[in-house]
Amino acid sequence: MEQKDVQDLVDHALKVASAKGDAVVQARDVLEHQIRISNSEIDIFKQWNYTVFDVFIAIEGKIGTTEIFSPTPKLIDEEISRLVKLIQSLQPTPLYSGLQEDLKPPTKVDKLYDKRIRDFPNQAPDVVAAALNAAQEAGAKRTAGSFFFSETYNLVETTKGFSGDYPESAYRMTLRSFVDPESSGQGLAVGRRISTAEKDIVQAGQEAGEIALQAVGGKQGKAGVYDLVLHPTVAASILGSLVESANPLLLMMGMSPLKDKLGEKLGPDSLSVWDDGRKPNGLGSAPFDVEGTPTQKSPIFQNGTLQGIIHNTSTAKMNQAKTTGNCSIARFGIGSKMFVPSPSNLVFEPGDASFEELLEPNRPTIYITSNWYLRYTSRLEGSFSTIPRDGMFLIENGEIGQSIQKLRISDNILRMVANIEALGKSPRQIRWWEVETPTFIPFVRIKDAKMTAATQ
Amino acid sequence: MTFHDLVQHGVQFGDAQGADYIELRYVQSVVEGYSTRNGEIISAGTTETAGIGIRALANGGIGFVSTARLKKEEIERAVKTAIGLAQTSKRKTPLVLSEEPTVQTRWEVPVKIPFADVSSETKLNRVFEVDKTLTSTFNSDTLPFRLVILALETSKKLITNNEGTQVESDYSLGRYLAMLTAKGNKDIEQRMISRGSTGGWEWFADPQFIQNFVDEAQDAKSVADNAKAMTFDKPVDFIVGPEVAGIISHENCGHPSEADRIQGREGMNAGESFWMDIDVGTTRVGSPAVTVIDDPTIPKSGGFYLYDDEGVQARPRYLIKEGIANEMFHDRLSAGRVGVKSNGSSRATNYNREPIPRMANTYIAPGDYSKEELVEDIKFGIYMKSFTEWNIDDRRYQSKYVGSYARLIRDGEVTDTFVRRPVLELTSRGLFDAVDACSKGFTADQAICGKSDPSQGIPVWTAGPDAMRLRAIRVGGVPT
């Protein structure tokens, strides 16, 4: 859809909605592609081309949202009329107390859009082929993958007078190489700059192939207590899950172990983490949130202390705090969306250790390159387990040693954060199937983690 | 043009453009959701979508394009694009679909009270009733966090391809999710529950709807009040309830028997399968007491359908028969790769997702015993009725289920001693080998099965008999 047409339709939607109460209209015009790969061949090449509006309306403290695909003036009128009828049948919610009124200029965010994305669909199969070659040259017998790339035009308008738009481009490639069914390795490439995409993607192929080759000959690991060196992919999944729970919605639902812990020292001095909505090249970056609040860099952990949680205008009022520019219209449950704070990019401050230095301490240590299926026994307590997949190795004399398999991290997230011993100096952006919030994080070493294995 | 005309035109257009296979799947869907937290509404809304998913096979590759712009010119663009994307794949090993009978038919979910005929006030009041009943039965200190989500989904679908198949359907599913946090004398226990049924509002109107929440909250409170951590130095017998048997049937049998995983197509995300290493039809993967079935045709079930998303007629799949790996989930693509027929397992969550092999209603087949008969043979063991945390590796071999409501069994009786979070950390083979008997009965939980990228969370039932007995299990747990 042409940008002018999107603009006209958003104006129309806001006009219709504003007659009823406070309103936000968020439009996205998206052209997205995906290439799925297995056995080193393309299985399917997909395209999604769509325009979707999220409309939020608040009438006397009662709120509701609707999602309108392929909007037309007639469809907008019908959907808003239906939404208003639904809202009028509801009761006021504690989660809404007004929209952002103190309008400020949007944040300038670097590297959100690269116009070379337009030609990328034609080049993508060759980029995939280059990555598969790199994996094979590194030792892979076969490689699977998932490669998304997209360009999106975003426009937000609110009844408080905010109007802002921006284009964005994005790519994310995940590659997983196999030497045999139980010897695999993963590589990721994530970003917005198409000019560096091919280099990053080929490097991801190479890393996947190298880890897979290194994993050959894996032996059953022994349950016990180990130090862990976590690849950024694993660190983002485990440590990121705690930082993500610094969210007022999760706190009020009893789904965060951070309840009543604001101001408490939970980790070492080396642990500082921000929610940073303006991080260059970050897939979660944007100039403003859906209320029109400029995005910002908000401290979550500073020197190990839980310093803050993310907010929109309403949750900030509930908590006597200030909005952090994290308002979103986020899917919740099934069928409905919520007007709530959502994380943008989680950014961990890197440490000063090289990867080799992280391997140095002479204690039983395991290096984990990837994981999946993180589940909490109790979200309030933070007890959880997750399963390493792909290459996992014993560290022997400060070097990567015997490949091991079939262990599970079964621990408590608060204990693991308290036991962070060192962070590496080279962060990477992680975003894949298992890590939905883009996370900039280096390698991390954690003391005394508990590993379990099947008993029979 | 009507959607019938559009899909027909798209198929003819794709055929004329040289597609070896072209399929258009129109889906019009309405999903309505209501969520409350501690009796206050936190979310309500409707997502309505209508669009067409187009899958084209050309030059041995597959292209997929979806569009919600339901105009003739747009459909032609989308069809051309899908064919173009398929051609650029440049596969060395061409993809083929299995040959299947063409059908022209329609099916529907029987509905007594359509969701559209019920006011949003009535729907929301039903959610409020849950919270009122919970707080009046217990009190808000005992249940400090109560999250209840009601979800109502209806859809109309038309699947057409250039082989002449045309299947139209009307679908309706109601379900709820809840997270209850119970605070007891000893501990805090969090309980996630999910139930659902295809049909209409009549399912929610049933008095049992509210009673389920009360029963679940009582279980969570009992655990929080009474459960004691115990260590078990020697192997013990387990009786697991239908909730645990159901998740086992899904994770340790259903997922590994998906043919696309076995062929490597999910290698990147959902993973592959230990069934890659066995001979389906002859390899033993469990004791003779284990039979696992997936049946999409169970009336009112949460994973109900009669024709899949490729227009293939649904039927029960016997995944494990008396301990022998027997059958995989096939769609036409996975079946075509190995020269067999599809067994009607192809499902997509909406028009904008490709259809892939999925489960529907997976369950451990019941046996002839009563639950009491299974318990009375146990000298010392654990009755694990429900679970909290679980996970399994991506080859679906290393699984873990942490008990929630669990009580000690002594001398053939379930005692009043609650066991805190006993852990079944077992390989799939170790688990199914240990099963020596199943009782009568069939109870199902509604679940959302996650798979693929972009993730397609699809409604399924996981089910099991009243009791499944596992002998001589070494209880897992965190090392000290």
B480 within some domain: no
Residues of chain A neighbouring B37 (CB-CB closer than 8 A): 252-253
Q: Nearest CA of chain A to the CA of B426: how many Å?
A: 5
CA dist B259 → A104, A145, B1, B333, B420 (Å): 54, 18, 38, 10, 38
Among candidates B69, B190, B400 on the partner chain, residue whose Cβ is nearest the Cβ of A70 = B69
B143/B241 same-domain check: no
Q: Nearest CA of chain A to the CA of B68: how many Å?
A: 6
When scoring B23, B42, B252, B453 by the number of chain A Cβ atoms within 10 A, the one with the most, hence best to mutate, is B42
Taking an 8 Å cut-off on Cβ atoms, the answer to whether B64 and A45 are in contact is yes
Q: Which of A72, A227, A443, A432 is nearest to B68 (CA)?
A: A72
Nearest CA in chain A to B153: A335
What would the pLDDT profile of B152-187 be if each residue is shown by its tens digit? 999 999 999 999 999 999 999 999 999 999 999 989
- Give the pair of three-digit tokens for residue B285: 């993967």
Residues of chain A neighbouring B40 (CB-CB closer than 8 A): 91, 93-94
B247/B321 same-domain check: yes
A102/A227 same-domain check: no
A16/A111 same-domain check: yes
Residue pair A164/A106 in contact (Cβ under 8 Å)? The answer is yes
Taking an 8 Å cut-off on Cβ atoms, the answer to whether A36 and B392 are in contact is no
- The residue ranges of chain A whose pLDDT is under 70 are none
A207/A280 same-domain check: no
A162 within some domain: no
Rounded Cα gap, residues B248 and B243, in angstroms: 9
A289 within some domain: no
Among candidates B81, B121, B426 on the partner chain, residue whose Cβ is nearest the Cβ of A455 = B426
Taking an 8 Å cut-off on Cβ atoms, the answer to whether A387 and B391 are in contact is yes
Strands B104-108 and B166-183: parallel
Q: What distance separates the 2 farthest-apart alpha carbons in chain A? A: 70
A401 burial level (CB within 10 Å; 0-12, 13-18, 19+) = middle
Q: Nearest CA of chain B to the CA of A84: how many Å?
A: 10
Tell me chain A's radius of gyration from C-alpha atoms.
Answer: 23
Rounded Cα gap, residues A339 and A21, in angstroms: 15
Nearest CA in chain A to B235: A455
B240/B194 same-domain check: no
B427 within some domain: yes
Quote the number of domains for chain A: 2
- Give the pair of three-digit tokens for residue B399: 């699984």
Taking an 8 Å cut-off on Cβ atoms, the answer to whether B391 and A375 are in contact is yes
A257/A403 same-domain check: yes
Residues of chain A neighbouring B39 (CB-CB closer than 8 A): none
Is some CB atom of chain A closer than 8 A to the CB atom of B351? no
State residue B215's pLDDT score: 96
What residues make up the domain containing A355? 219-284+346-452
A138/A250 same-domain check: no
B231 within some domain: no
3-state secondary structure chain B: CCHHHHHHHHHHHHHHCCCCEEEEEEEEEEEEEEEEECCEEEEEEEEEEEEEEEEEEECCEEEEEEECCCCHHHHHHHHHHHHHHHHHCCCCCCCCCCCCCCCEEEEECCCCCCHHHCCHHHHHHHHHHHHHHHHHHCCCCCCCEEEEEEEEEEEEEEEEECCCCEEEEEEEEEEEEEEEEEECCCCEEEEEEEEEEECCCHHHHCCHHHHHHHHHHHHHHHHHHHCECCCCCCCEEEEECHHHHHHHHHHHHHHHHEHHHHCCCCCCCCCCCHHHHCCCCCCECCCCCCCEEECCCCCCCCCCCCECCCCCECCCEEEEECCEECCCECCHHHHHHHCCCCCCCEECCCCCCCCEECCCEEEECCCCECHHHHHHCCCEEEEECCEEEEEECCCCCEEEEEECCEEEEECCEEEEEEECCCEEEEEHHHHHHHEEEEECCCEEEEEEECCCCCCCCEEEEEEECCCEEEEEECCECCCC
B196/B281 same-domain check: no
Is some CB atom of chain A closer than 8 A to the CB atom of B393? yes
State residue A402's pLDDT score: 98
Rounded Cα gap, residues A163 and A168, in angstroms: 17
Cα B260–Cα B272–Cα B475 angle in degrees, nearest 5? 130
Taking an 8 Å cut-off on Cβ atoms, the answer to whether A408 and B400 are in contact is yes
Nearest CA in chain B to A90: B121
Tokens 């000290």 -> residue? B480
Taking an 8 Å cut-off on Cβ atoms, the answer to whether B272 and A333 are in contact is no
Residues of chain A neighbouring B143 (CB-CB closer than 8 A): none
Among candidates B45, B181, B423 on the partner chain, residue whose Cβ is nearest the Cβ of A66 = B45
Rounded Cα gap, residues B302 and B196, in angstroms: 6
Tokens 């080049």 -> residue? A123
Q: Nearest CA of chain A to the CA of B453: how many Å?
A: 7
pTM over 0.90: yes
The residue-averaged pLDDT of B370-389 equals 97
Taking an 8 Å cut-off on Cβ atoms, the answer to whether B31 and A372 are in contact is no
A125 Cβ contact partners less than 8 Å away, ≥ 6 residues apart? A35, A42, A45, B88, B89, B90
Residue pair B468/B384 in contact (Cβ under 8 Å)? The answer is no
Residue B479 clears pLDDT 60, i.e. is over it:
no
Nearest CA in chain A to B431: A456
Strands B380-384 and B236-240: parallel
Q: Nearest CA of chain B to the CA of A334: how many Å?
A: 6
Among candidates B45, B426, B475 on the partner chain, residue whose Cβ is nearest the Cβ of A337 = B45
Nearest CA in chain A to B60: A43
B240 within some domain: yes
Rounded Cα gap, residues B344 and B357, in angstroms: 8
Nearest CA in chain B to A68: B48
What would the pLDDT profile of B208-261 be if each residue is shown by its tens digit? 899 999 999 999 999 999 999 999 999 999 999 999 999 999 999 999 999 999
Residue B63, domain CATH: 3.30.2290.10
Is some CB atom of chain A closer than 8 A to the CB atom of B223? no
A224/A208 same-domain check: no
Instruction: List all residues of chain B from 430 to 449 with a beta carbon under 8 Å from chain A.
Output: 430, 434, 448
B164/B261 same-domain check: no
- Give the pair of three-digit tokens for residue A118: 């337009």
What would the pLDDT profile of A258-274 be if each residue is shown by its tens digit? 999 999 999 999 999 99
Among candidates A178, A378, A410 on the partner chain, residue whose Cβ is nearest the Cβ of B267 = A178
Rounded Cα gap, residues B437 and A287, in angstroms: 61
Average pLDDT, chain B: 96
A257/A375 same-domain check: yes
Give B480's pLDDT tier (boundaries 50, 70, 90): very low
Instruction: List all residues of chain B from 99 to 128 with a beta carbon under 8 Å from chain A.
Output: 119-121, 124
B333/B196 same-domain check: no
Q: Which of B156, B160, B150 is nearest to B172 (CA)?
A: B156
What's the half-sphere exposure (Cβ side, CA atoms, 13 Å) at A121? 19
Residue A150, domain CATH: 3.30.2290.10
Q: Nearest CA of chain A to the CA of B314: how many Å?
A: 25
Instruction: List all residues of chain B from 260 to 279 with a beta carbon under 8 Å from chain A.
Output: 263-269, 271-272, 276-277
A202/A66 same-domain check: yes
B298 burial level (CB within 10 Å; 0-12, 13-18, 19+) = buried
Among candidates B42, B62, B152 on the partner chain, residue whose Cβ is nearest the Cβ of A95 = B42
State residue A221's pLDDT score: 97
Residue B6 clears pLDDT 50, i.e. is over it:
yes
Cα A60–Cα A65–Cα A71 angle in degrees, nearest 5? 125
Is some CB atom of chain A closer than 8 A to the CB atom of B43? yes
Q: Which of A388, A181, A215 is nearest to B262 (CA)?
A: A181
Taking an 8 Å cut-off on Cβ atoms, the answer to whether A44 and B37 are in contact is no
A193/A239 same-domain check: no
B130/B260 same-domain check: no
3-state secondary structure chain A: CCHHHHHHHHHHHHHHHHCCCEEEEEEEEEEEEEEEEECCEEEEEEEEEEEEEEEEEEECCEEEEEEEECCCHHHHHHHHHHHHHHHHCCCCCCCCCCCCCCCCCCCCCCCCCCHHHHHHHHHHHHHHHHHHHHHHHHCCCEEEEEEEEEEEEEEEEECCCCEEEEEEEEEEEEEEEEEECCEEEEEEEEECCHHHHHHHHHHHHHHHHHHHHHCCCCEECCCEEEEEEECHHHHHHHHHHHHHCCCHHHHHCCCCCCCCCCCCECCCCCCCEEEECCCCCCCCCCCECCCCCECCEEEEEECCEECCCCCCHHHHHHCCCCCCCCEEEEEECCCEEEEEECCCCEEECCCCECHHHHCCCCCCEEEECCEEEEEEEECCCCEEEEEECCCEEEEECCEEEEEEECCEEEEEHHHHHHCEEEEECCCEEEEECCEEEEEEECCEEEEEEEEECCCC
Residue pair B342/B309 in contact (Cβ under 8 Å)? The answer is no
Among candidates A46, A93, A452 on the partner chain, residue whose Cβ is nearest the Cβ of B425 = A452
Rounded Cα gap, residues B126 and A410, in angstroms: 39
Quote the number of domains for chain B: 2
What residues make up the domain containing B219? 3-226
B311/B406 same-domain check: yes
Which of B182, B198, B226 represents a domain boundary (last residue)? B226
Among candidates A37, A41, A225 on the partner chain, residue whose Cβ is nearest the Cβ of B479 = A225
Among candidates B49, B268, B399 on the partner chain, residue whose Cβ is nearest the Cβ of A69 = B49
Q: Which of A13, A7, A9, A155 is nearest to A81 (CA)?
A: A13
Count of residues in chain B = 480
Residues of chain A neighbouring B66 (CB-CB closer than 8 A): 47-48, 50
Which of B226, B256, B283 represents a domain boundary (last residue)? B226
B395 burial level (CB within 10 Å; 0-12, 13-18, 19+) = buried
B215 within some domain: yes
B328/B278 same-domain check: yes
A309 within some domain: no
Nearest CA in chain B to A251: B145
B276/B188 same-domain check: no
B126/B220 same-domain check: yes
Residues of chain A neighbouring B276 (CB-CB closer than 8 A): 181
B187/B80 same-domain check: yes
Strand partners, A302: A305
Nearest CA in chain B to A381: B188
Which of B226, B258, B288 represents a domain boundary (last residue)? B226
A340 within some domain: no
Residues of chain B neighbouring A123 (CB-CB closer than 8 A): none
Taking an 8 Å cut-off on Cβ atoms, the answer to whether B264 and A142 are in contact is yes
Phi, psi of A347 (to 5 degrees): -120, 110
Q: Which of A385, A403, A383 is nearest to A394 (CA)?
A: A403
Taking an 8 Å cut-off on Cβ atoms, the answer to whether B390 and A375 are in contact is yes
Strand partners, B35: B43, B149
Residues of chain A neighbouring B352 (CB-CB closer than 8 A): 48, 50
Q: Which of A109, A107, A127 is nearest to A117 (CA)?
A: A127
Is some CB atom of chain A closer than 8 A to the CB atom of B287? no
Q: Which of A392, A338, A355 is nearest to A222 (CA)?
A: A392
Residue pair A380/A368 in contact (Cβ under 8 Å)? The answer is no
